[in-house]
Structure 1
Amino acid sequence: MTRRRSLLLGGGALGAVALLSGCSDEPESRREADGGADVALLRARGARDSTALLARYDATVDTHPDLAERLAPLREETARHVAVFTAKGRSPSPSATASRSPSAGGRRMPEVPKDEKRALAALAQAERQTADTRTAALATAPPELARLLASVAACGAAHVYLLTQRDTDS
């Protein structure tokens, strides 16, 4: 792995862990609790979107095993996002799990291009769309959930960068 990529992954992972653990370990804010159905819906969407990204990572690695090492840290972060969105008994469905399974909880696995570069581009596009969706949701989210959405969207943007970066210095 290149020095720049190692530093970016290490720094991003450390920041994400700090942000996510801070958000998930603190008690629910009063305003978030008052949001009720809206908060539950935003959390369910967050979990669903992260679960879909997780399935895309798994399908990409299944199609291109040589990418497994490169994608492992990004997949782990995405699995943590699923866990954070479903924390405190708020799981949107029993199939929203961060564990890897061949059938992806009974869902159809996403199609992955046979060309490795196109597969990475498709994964980056899925990350970009998810980050954009989370950024748009900030306008209606209560403060605690907005912080979570913002940090997960920023993590997704970092994933896009890492997936689209050329290996010029390797």
Structure 2
Amino acid sequence: MTPPLARGPRRRAVLAGGVGLPLAALATGCADAVPAQDPRAVAAADAEDRGRVRAAGDCAALLARYDATIAAHPALAARLRPLRAQVAAHQQAFAPSGTGTPSPGAPSPAGTSSPARSTPASASPTASGTPAVPSDQGTALKALADAEQRTAATRTTALRDASPALARLLASVAAAGTCHALLLRGGA
């Protein structure tokens, strides 16, 4: 007769090993599947997303001003459409990663931006929610130029708190806004 160990493992040992091994593998697998996130990295990503949403909201306000000016002065449409298209492209560039924005040619509804965004002072909406547009074409262009310049100044101020990637985008779009203001004022 052979001793019990020579015959192989006992049934209890096999059952205990059969249950214990998968549980141990599962426990170690779960720990590796969910990486620990650095709270500072999460906070920085949230701050960047808030900055992008704010900048996209400023673009939406500019788009509303362009649309209102074009509606009030159709003769300016050919001059304003290229600048408006660039502002729409800027809005899309500011979209937080993983989100979609309206196509560059589509007007943005006023309610699509974050409630925390800052509205440029030049956007002073009427009771209907559209920006007020002066009846004189020259004054309307000056108001639009002022809106572009104020928004560019807001973006320049936001550079302090932005991540390097967002700061580059803000600086580029602020420079474009300053150029738009110059073009709207009749500069060459």
Instruction: Identify whether the pair has TM-score above 0.5, normalized to the shorter chain.
Output: yes
Q: Which of the numbers 159, 165, 179 marks the counterpart of 1:138? A: 159
- After TM superposition, give the deviation of residue 157 of structure 1 in Å: 0.3
* Mapped contact 2:64–2:110 kept (Cα < 8 A): no
> Residues 35 and 54 (structure 1 numbering): CA distance in 2 closer, same or farther, change over 3 Å?
same
Select the structure of larger CA radius of gyration: 2
Divergent runs of 4+, >6 A: 31-34
What are structure 1's unaligned runs of at least 5 residues?
1-30
- After TM superposition, give the deviation of residue 106 of structure 1 in Å: 5.7
What are structure 2's unaligned runs of at least 5 residues?
1-39, 112-128
Distance 1:72 1:99 in 2: 9
Whether 2:112 is the aligned partner of 1:121: answer no
Whether 2:41 is the aligned partner of 1:37: answer no
Q: Which residues of 2 match residues 3-152 of structure 1 at below 5 A?
A: 35-86=44-95, 88-90=97-99, 98-101=104-107, 104-105=108-109, 108-152=129-173
| Alignment: residue pair count | 132
CA displacement, residues 58-89 of structure 1 (integer Å, 9 cap, x when unaligned): 10000000000001110010000011111532
Higher relative contact order (CA 8 A, sep 6+): 1
RMSD (CA atoms): 2.4
CA displacement, residues 35-69 of structure 1 (integer Å, 9 cap, x when unaligned): 12210111011100001101100100000000000
Distance 1:32 1:60 in 2: 42
* Mapped contact 1:82–1:97 kept (Cα < 8 A): no
Percent identical among aligned pairs is 46
